[in-house]
Each structure stands twice: as C-alpha cells, then as structure tokens.
C-alpha cells in the first residue's frame, strides 16, 4: 500500500539503480495532506536498493515546488511488475496520464536528459522556496463561516436549544465548511468540520468528504473506503460516493469490486459527471479481462464527452496492447485531434503510425511534440525527438 513518505524529499538521480520510469504528460490538480489544492507533475519510479526494490509515486507541486513521495514496502524482483501496476493505478486515480519512458532501452545521454528534466529527481536545494506568509484571500468558505456564526448567535440568543431542523441546518453548514477547507488543502480543519457535522446530523455528504480526505490527503485508503461505504449505506443511489469508491478500488487493482459501483453511477441520468464513472468502468472491465465490454463503455463515455482526453488515451492503449493497430491509430488520432496541446497524444499516435510502417505520418506527429512548449513537456519532447532520430531523414 502506497503511503506518503515524509523522509523522502526526492527520488535519487542514480541511473544505474533505476529500473523503470513513467512520467506524467499532464498536470492535474491534487491535494496532498496539509497542502493547498494545486496542479502537480507526476512520475512513477522503480529503484533498486540493495537486494530489494522500491516503487514510488512522486508528485511535484506547481506552487511550492515541493516533492511529495508516496512509497510502498520494498519488494523482491519478481514482484516489481505488480508493484508498478499498483503505483500506476494509484497515480491514474489522481488524474495523471502516464507514459513509459522505455528506460531499459535508453542510452546514457537520454537517461541523463530525463533525470535533469523530471523534477521528482531534484533535491530540495534545487527548488525555489515558495514565499512565506502569503495572506489568504477572501473565498466562499469565509461567507459560509459568517453564515454559521450568525446562525449560532441566533441559537445562543434564543436559549431554547436546537430543534431537529436546526441541527440539520447546522450540520449542513459544517459540511459546507468542510468542503471548502478540503478544497483549500486544510485536511485537519476539514476533518474537524465533517466530524462536527456528523455529531449534529449524520449525512452521506459528510461521510463522502471524510472518505476523500482519508484516501487522497492522508493516504489511508481503508478508512476512506469505510466512509464511502457508510455514505452508500445511508444513500444507496449516491453516485458521487460510488464513483469515488470505484476509483479507490481501481487504484488498488480491485477491478471486480469497482465494476458494479461504477456501472450503477454511470447509469444515473442525474449524475453530472457520469461520463467519468463510465470511462472508469470501461478501464476496470478491460483490466478484469473483459476488453470488449470495456471498449464499449469507454466509447459510450466518449460519445457524450468527445474531448475527454483520458478516454481516448485509454481506448488507444487497449487497442495497441491487443495488436489492433488500425483501431489504435484511429483512437490515438482522435486523442491528438481533440487534445492537440497534449504532447503525449502526438507521441502515442506517432508510435502506432510507426508500427504501421507509415513513416511520413509518424514523423509529422513526432515533429509536433519534439519541441517542448513548457518545462513539463520536456520528458515527452525528449521521447519524440528520439523517435524522430530513429526514423532518420525522409
């Protein structure tokens, strides 16, 4: 089980000890414990330490530049692949789109370039300190707090205690405070508000919020799952809790457990983000040995949300792993078309085109991603440049 390791500030940049490296091609918003919600770069790394191996998920926070490292207990060499799968699922559950670097096949120059461009390998001295004492700006949480203060004052003045309706109203306000604190990255403050909300009136929303904190912020997936399950006991059709619990199960490779939850959430016509549940359902079905059903669900999600980048990437990956190159080419082509600013889309499309012996078209895709637009694009750009070099001049 992956948990935050406060003793690690970065991954050692020792190429001879690294056995696998995956780098994220996007920067989703994450919220590690005690930090504000912010965009982050991500990487999954397997390193050899003596006779054992460590697999880590490294997040580099965009605002502070801090590396947050999640690691699992050391494993033997025969267990590395399984540990990598669990780490990749963990990172993907946070919204990262990861691409393998082909570390074992890289020469020393390309390995050095990757280490220099991937911030997970940068020690703290190489990272600029974030300015301290930044004042907190006014936000919706303060308005909720003022509302609660006025509400509490009226109750105090009445000296008549709280009716069931008043307790429910106060519980809702504490739950809203918890939601806002969670968004701001104050996990401990959010827990306090959710607990107070539950003391006043138990609601599935508060349990769902606690589940997110335990899982995402505190690295306690068992406790997170317990809270999600309690929310579903109270409201069996609570699609948001079903989607969260399903994503948690996927992050732990419990694909068969995730399927019924995600299936129910994906069929809820009132659930605004049901396409995410449907795409996750498709991935869980594929990973559990039902590829055609999985493909059908991902296609269904993409029919509703054609710009859902992760869905096109998942679909292309499935077809590519099955050797269905024509379909993989079409899926990655749509990925590149709908998400043209994602360098990973052109890289994956180019790889499939190269496998189809369509060198001219592959070269055009690699050229689109070979020059990084931002610092975060460098790992993908390096891969694109390497493939361009291998293709040679036209």
Domain boundaries, given as residue ranges, for the chain? 3-126, 306-394
CA–CA gap between residue 384 and residue 5 (Å, rounded): 33
CA–CA gap between residue 149 and residue 223 (Å, rounded): 31
Say if CB 284 and CB 294 are below 8 A apart. Answer: yes
Tell me what pLDDT residue 232 has.
Answer: 96
Name beta bridge partners: 374. Answer: none
Tell me what pLDDT residue 132 has.
Answer: 38
SS3 98: strand
CA–CA gap between residue 123 and residue 121 (Å, rounded): 6
* Burial 48-71, CB ≥16 within 10 A → b, else e: beeeebbbbbbbbbbebebbbbbb
Tell me what pLDDT residue 243 has.
Answer: 93
Tell me what pLDDT residue 367 has.
Answer: 92
Tell me what pLDDT residue 135 has.
Answer: 33
Question: ∠ at Cα 382 (350, 324), nearest 5°?
Answer: 25
| 127: Cα separation from own chain's centroid | 23
Tell me what pLDDT residue 109 has.
Answer: 81
Long-range contacts of 130-136 (CB under 8 A, 24+ apart): 130/63, 130/64, 130/65, 130/66
Question: Tell me: the pLDDT tens digits for 3-52?
Answer: 888 888 899 888 889 989 999 887 777 777 767 667 788 999 999 888 88
Tell me what pLDDT residue 94 has.
Answer: 79
| 264: Cα separation from own chain's centroid | 22
Tell me what pLDDT residue 231 has.
Answer: 95
Say if CB 83 and CB 330 are below 8 A apart. Answer: no
Model-level pTM?
0.61
Tell me what pLDDT residue 149 has.
Answer: 52
Say if CB 370 and CB 105 are below 8 A apart. Answer: no
Mark the ranges of the chain whose per-residue pLDDT is less than 70.
34, 36-37, 125-161, 393-394
Q: Was domain 306-394 assigned CATH 3.30.70.1880? A: no
């Amino acid at each position: 089980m992956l948990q935050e390791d406060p003793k690690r500030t970065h991954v050692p940049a020792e190429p001879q000890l690294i056995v696998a490296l995956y780098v994220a091609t996007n920067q989703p918003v994450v919220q590690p414990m005690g930090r504000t919600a912010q965009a982050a770069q991500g990487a999954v790394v397997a390193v050899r330490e003596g006779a054992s191996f460590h697999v880590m998920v490294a997040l580099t926070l965009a605002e502070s530049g801090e590396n947050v490292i999640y690691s699992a207990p050391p494993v033997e060499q025969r267990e590395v692949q399984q540990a990598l799968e669990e780490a990749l699922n963990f990172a993907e559950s946070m919204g990262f789109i990861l691409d393998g670097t082909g570390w074992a096949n890289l020469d020393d120059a390309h390995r050095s370039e990757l280490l220099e461009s991937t911030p997970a390998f940068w020690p703290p001295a190489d990272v600029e300190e974030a300015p301290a004492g930044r004042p907190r700006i006014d936000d919706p949480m303060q308005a909720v707090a003022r509302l609660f203060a006025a509400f509490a004052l009226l109750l105090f003045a009445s000296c008549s205690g709280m009716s069931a309706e008043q307790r429910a109203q106060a519980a809702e306000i504490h739950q809203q405070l918890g939601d806002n604190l969670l968004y701001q990255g104050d996990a401990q403050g959010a827990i306090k508000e959710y607990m107070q909300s539950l003391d006043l009136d138990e609601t599935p929303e508060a349990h769902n919020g606690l589940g997110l904190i335990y899982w995402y912020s505190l690295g306690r997936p068992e406790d997170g799952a317990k809270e999600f399950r309690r929310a579903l006991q109270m409201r069996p059709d609570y699609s948001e809790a079903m989607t969260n619990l399903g994503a948690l199960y996927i992050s732990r490779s419990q694909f068969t457990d995730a399927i019924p939850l995600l299936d129910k959430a994906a069929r809820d016509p009132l659930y605004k983000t049901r396409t995410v549940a449907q795409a996750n359902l498709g991935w869980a079905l594929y990973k559990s040995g039902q590829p055609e059903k999985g493909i059908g669900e991902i296609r269904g999600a993409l029919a509703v949300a054609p710009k859902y980048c992760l869905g096109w990437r998942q679909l292309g990956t499935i077809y590519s792993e099955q050797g269905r190159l024509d379909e993989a080419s079409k899926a990655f082509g749509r990925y590149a078309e709908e998400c043209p600013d994602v360098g990973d889309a052109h890289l994956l499309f180019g790889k499939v085109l190269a496998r189809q012996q369509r060198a001219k078209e592959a070269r055009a895709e690699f050229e689109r991603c070979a020059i990084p637009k931002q610092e975060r694009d460098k790992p993908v750009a390096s891969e694109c440049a390497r493939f361009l070099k291998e293709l040679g001049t036209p």
